[in-house]
Structure 1
Amino acid sequence: MPTTVQAERAMIVAPTSLAARAGLEVLREGGNAIEAVVAAAAVSAVVCPHLCGLAGDGLWLLARPGRPPLAIDATGVTGRAVTADDDRRQGLTRPPRHGGRAVATVPGAVAGWQTALEVGARHWEGRLPLARLLEDAIHRAEAGHPMPDGLARAVTRSAGDLAVTPLASLLLDDGAPPAPGYPLSNPALGQTLRALAAAGLDDFYRGGVGRAISADLKALGSPLVSDDLAAHRSVRRRPLTLKTPSATIHDGPPPTQGLIAQMVLGMAERLHPTGADGLDHAHGLIQAMRAAAAVRDRHLSDPRYMAVHPTTYLSDTMLDQSAAALDRQRARPGPRMAHGGGHGAWIGCIDAAGRTAGLAQTLHEPFGAGVLLPETGLLWTNQARAFQLDPTLPNVLLPGRKPPHGLTAPVARLRDGRMMVFGGTGGAALPMLQALLFTRHVLFGQDLAAALAAPRWRPGPETDLQVLIEDRLDPALAADLERLGHRLTRRPALDDIMGHLGAVTRHPEGSVAGAVDPRGDGAVMGL
């Protein structure tokens, strides 16, 4: 099992050791947390194409000592020509998963990198050139890299789908799923990164790279056009803030599910659980997640069109009422929650000056829309799948709209003076999985690595009372959950479906500690 890593000055957590190493070297050269995260994110886009990519979306949460935190909404909107009409005529009940019509939203990840680096240059003493930050990613794309274990598992799970997409040429070995360590390369993506390193990240949307992308999209039959790319900008936003007895926690505003994550944490502390592995803790978190998910399904959308301001749900009065309404004696049904165990990439970093950066990125589903743009080597998000086609439902597919996102990127200042950046992947239940990590470590004092490795439970995707549990969960706790009416489905120990999380903390005197989830390929490295 992984252990908690201690370091004197700075630390980074990333989805793979190659990404963490890229970020660590930036820190070693005097780079700040933003620069380290961009370097790690670029490598992740190359070596983890099932999790994230340049043509995906993101959410940043930035904090520096003595200043208000900042969120960067790095998500995109649907193209101007996108409508639900064609999908309805074809008898679809959801937007398509794969192919040209699934390529319907502008990706925001690269614009998010650009905005974060602008913040870093102005306020975080950023000094490293973009070419240096993309150097490792370019090398990995062009020279190749061994396939990580998690990618190999994802390819095996999706082999049937991948075989009939352009991704087969990139990810399959003569039509079959390769073993971990199989050499992978994407020279076209390397050339795209080289072009961005030379021309700047804005080129992705409004320059030569953008023109190459537009040509690929037209050939693919995507409704996106060059004007959609050219109009895109990331947005600096005020984070949502939750104050509890144990911490002040910041997270991203809608359309991300930072609101849902804060609702779960706010209710969890109000339930006053008695122990990390107690029934009241497990049942309370499950019920809080179901209650918050109901709010998500009714209200979370493009913030320009939300009927209720998100801070309404985070007032003390509303959280008190929400926690009091939870049934502590019986399981109550809630929305089904798609697992998405490894469908995204989270990176967290605290640098030597105590500046904290968290970044969550995604292609929405593994490998996104199942396309590989030939000129640029890009995989594209299928985030439009988060929309509905039924015009009577929330989040109907319309042009120029942001879809709801499962991204969160929490940063917390703990009561003991430490800073904590934490996050991960876990699909619709990610807010509860993050709350489970937070309560184990902060409320119950568990070591970070122990908190991450502990057996997990989470609401499931099949029925409104389903709870997935790892088969090493205490049998007495499992029996108690069943007695309350939860319908348990047992999963193997350390299953991907239970999410991949990580965390870094910094003590007031400057020392740092971090750990990663044993369920994934993540790595933590420090100076």
Structure 2
Amino acid sequence: MRAMLMPNLERVELDGPAASVGQRHEAVVTAFPNATEAGVEILRAGGNAIDAAVAAAWALCVCEPSASGLGGQTVLLVRFADDRIRIIDGHSRAPAAASLDTIKAGQQRRGYRSCTIPSTPATLDWAHRKYGVLSRETVMAPAIRIAEEGYPITPLQHRQARWVADDLRASPAGELFLQDGLPPEIGHMFRQPELAGTLRRLADFGTEDFYHGGIARQIAADMRAAGGLITEEDLASCGPPAQVEPVSTSYRGHRILSIPPPSGGLQLLFALNIIAQISATNSESSDDSWHEAIALASSAVFRERELRPLLPDDLIPQSRQGRLSEDYARQVADSILAPQSTKELATDSAEEPGDTTHLSVCDRDGIIVVLTQSIQSVFGAKVAHRDLGFLYNNYLCTCPRLSHPYELGPGCRPRSNMAPTLVLQGATGRPLLALGAAGSRRIISAILHVLSGVIDLGLDITDAVAAPRVHGLVGRKVWIERPAASNALLARLRARNRIPIVKSRLNFAMGSVNALQLMTDGSAKGAADPRRDGLVEVLS
């Protein structure tokens, strides 16, 4: 693989004249086969990309419970047939009683006091009612069927359950997600009758039941009994998701769009700007220089986020634009390339494997949906509502306890790294890539690899998603998948006082990208990350 970051090299040509678009392909890529099939089923039933994405997202709430669910949050980037692009931001908020006094430090990571008010049901239902064309019952039917009939446990799911089995056993979650107190065996048909019942109630009565009706009362009662903080009033306060404009930057002549704070889109765009500045000062072309640039940029953006955080609601738009300015990227690139630039780096904070899920969908009319949803950590808060069948999130673990724009408090919005992203091709402005990722902070470095792999290296989307990755932590450590860990790269990083840590090939912790590549003739290609259980289907 030949890196092509440097401006003196021949540029990979992606801007050929637009061919006349015939019949557009439809495509669905998600993190689990049953969810992909749910999206395809809805497209074949006459649904649009929003119907299909929502159906697949409901299905992921069933068949990927370690990553997302009714107790989490969801964000979408939608490109409509008339070229409008909107963010549907379903970020959750802390309950009104959340404070440093009511939530001790040890309670932020797991348990009933680590939860924000679930917003996934509100977001999915609102997006479907606003922009879908099929009935709610039709769109939710695949998820209900999967919950009732079951799906086979994968090796990854067995391994994840093993990681957290002790925590799950300590709560009703163990009754739902373990078999006789043990992780479900590989191939076991995993059925969730309680969750099927909850989904059926939502299909019949809408999410009004979740936020104002019987389900809300059940959640509030569960929280009271277990010492949690979410009340009926908190649930009733969860309104529709916000519709906001995306953040964007230019990279190699293409327009890159993603989601604003408190999500991770700004970090992604900032990292691309840093890579562009690094390449402008480096005449070398090699795999090692490419991986080094991604490692340095992915580390720098999170360090800058800690040192200079933006307000959660971005009350000062100029600060957002400042973060994406060429001058700022050049300043940061110069600082990380300077000799002894690691002197001031903090000790690395721990980075858990992290869990989230992502899907991308396109339809015949040109609608594109990139959707990311999560319950934060693997199996979220590790606690669940026994009768309703879903896990609660643990998003309050992302809220600092010190004075900070995102500090823990009533109604605070937790930070996330979710970054559903759309790439518009240079001169034509047509969609080129629709992608996003799972994996906590590795969401950013994973998307960087794929974007740069396609745009700078000219890789096919499948090769770009499967290529080995690196990830720079906030401090000195750099994670490297084994195929990328050449002696030369290790030496380069050590020369910068970094600490390389070699990970296995296709490592779960290095993020999981699910992406679509849209071709000039209207066809589509897709790639599901081999690091997890995903599947892509293209309908012609």
Q: TM-score, normalised by structure 2?
A: 0.88
Q: Secondary structure of the equivalent of 2:483?
A: coil
The correspondence of residues 123-202 of structure 1 with structure 2, limited to 5 A, is: 126-202=132-208
- 1:339 deviates by 4.0
TM-aligned CA distance change 1:521 to 1:29, over 3 Å: same
**Aligned counterpart, 2:111:** 99
**2:130 matches 1:119:** yes
**2:251 matches 1:244:** yes
- Does the CA-based 8 Å contact 1:342-1:496 persist in structure 2? no
Moved more, 202-211 or 300-309: 300-309
Amino acid aligned to 2:217 = R
The correspondence of residues 465-476 of structure 1 with structure 2, limited to 5 A, is: 465-473=476-484, 474-476=486-488
Measured against aligned partners, the alpha-carbon deviations of 1:135-174 in whole angstroms (never above 9, x if no partner) come to: 1111121222211332212111222222222221122222
Q: Secondary structure of the equivalent of 2:102?
A: helix
**2:406 matches 1:395:** yes
CA distance in 2 between partners of 1:389 and 1:448 (Å): 41
CA distance in 2 between partners of 1:27 and 1:340 (Å): 36
TM-aligned CA distance change 1:328 to 1:29, over 3 Å: farther
**Aligned counterpart, 1:123:** none
The correspondence of residues 402-481 of structure 1 with structure 2, limited to 5 A, is: 402-415=413-426, 417-460=430-473, 464-473=475-484, 474-481=486-493
- Does the CA-based 8 Å contact 1:291-1:334 persist in structure 2? no
The correspondence of residues 85-96 of structure 1 with structure 2, limited to 5 A, is: 85-88=101-104, 92=105, 95-96=107-108
**2:301 matches 1:289:** no
**2:114 matches 1:108:** no
**Aligned counterpart, 1:211:** 217
Q: TM-score, normalised by structure 1?
A: 0.91
CA distance in 1 between partners of 2:448 and 2:302 (Å): 14
Amino acid aligned to 1:271 = I
Q: Secondary structure of the equivalent of 2:211?
A: helix
- Does the CA-based 8 Å contact 1:249-1:411 persist in structure 2? yes
- Does the CA-based 8 Å contact 2:254-2:423 persist in structure 1? yes
Moved more, 155-164 or 228-237: 155-164
Measured against aligned partners, the alpha-carbon deviations of 1:30-82 in whole angstroms (never above 9, x if no partner) come to: 21111111111111111111100011011111112443310111111111111
CA distance in 2 between partners of 1:30 and 1:136 (Å): 15
- Does the CA-based 8 Å contact 2:168-2:382 persist in structure 1? yes
Measured against aligned partners, the alpha-carbon deviations of 1:258-316 in whole angstroms (never above 9, x if no partner) come to: 11111011222233377885332222222222221123224145216679732221133
Q: Secondary structure of the equivalent of 1:358?
A: strand
TM-aligned CA distance change 1:516 to 1:441, over 3 Å: same
Amino acid aligned to 1:409 = P
- Does the CA-based 8 Å contact 1:290-1:335 persist in structure 2? no
- Does the CA-based 8 Å contact 1:15-1:347 persist in structure 2? yes
**Aligned counterpart, 2:494:** 482
Q: Secondary structure of the equivalent of 1:321?
A: helix
* Matching residue within 380, 383, 395 for 1:371: 383
- 1:325 deviates by 3.5
- Does the CA-based 8 Å contact 1:339-1:497 persist in structure 2? no
CA distance in 1 between partners of 2:149 and 2:387 (Å): 18
- 1:328 deviates by 6.3
Gaps (5+ residues) in structure 1?
Answer: 1-6, 121-125
CA distance in 2 between partners of 1:58 and 1:338 (Å): 25
CA distance in 2 between partners of 1:13 and 1:406 (Å): 20
- 1:493 deviates by 1.1
**Aligned counterpart, 1:3:** none
- Does the CA-based 8 Å contact 2:298-2:473 persist in structure 1? no
Q: Secondary structure of the equivalent of 1:397?
A: coil
- Does the CA-based 8 Å contact 1:43-1:137 persist in structure 2? yes
Moved more, 343-352 or 430-439: 430-439
Q: CA RMSD, aligned part only?
A: 2.3
- Does the CA-based 8 Å contact 2:54-2:124 persist in structure 1? yes
- 1:337 deviates by 5.8
**Aligned counterpart, 1:259:** 266
CA distance in 1 between partners of 2:389 and 2:138 (Å): 21
CA distance in 2 between partners of 1:33 and 1:520 (Å): 23
Measured against aligned partners, the alpha-carbon deviations of 1:497-523 in whole angstroms (never above 9, x if no partner) come to: 111112102123311011111111011
**2:42 matches 1:31:** no
TM-aligned CA distance change 1:328 to 1:522, over 3 Å: farther
The number of equivalent residue pairs is 508
TM-aligned CA distance change 1:219 to 1:305, over 3 Å: farther
TM-aligned CA distance change 1:159 to 1:146, over 3 Å: same
CA distance in 2 between partners of 1:324 and 1:265 (Å): 15
* Matching residue within 29, 37, 40 for 1:21: 37
- 1:215 deviates by 2.5
Measured against aligned partners, the alpha-carbon deviations of 1:74-112 in whole angstroms (never above 9, x if no partner) come to: 111111111111344xxx3x5432222223x11111121
Amino acid aligned to 1:157 = W
Q: Secondary structure of the equivalent of 1:404?
A: coil
**Aligned counterpart, 2:7:** none
The correspondence of residues 316-335 of structure 1 with structure 2, limited to 5 A, is: 316-327=326-337, 332=342, 333=345
- 1:221 deviates by 2.0
CA distance in 2 between partners of 1:504 and 1:276 (Å): 27
- 1:455 deviates by 1.5
Q: Secondary structure of the equivalent of 1:309?
A: helix
Gaps (5+ residues) in structure 2?
Answer: 1-22
TM-aligned CA distance change 1:475 to 1:150, over 3 Å: same
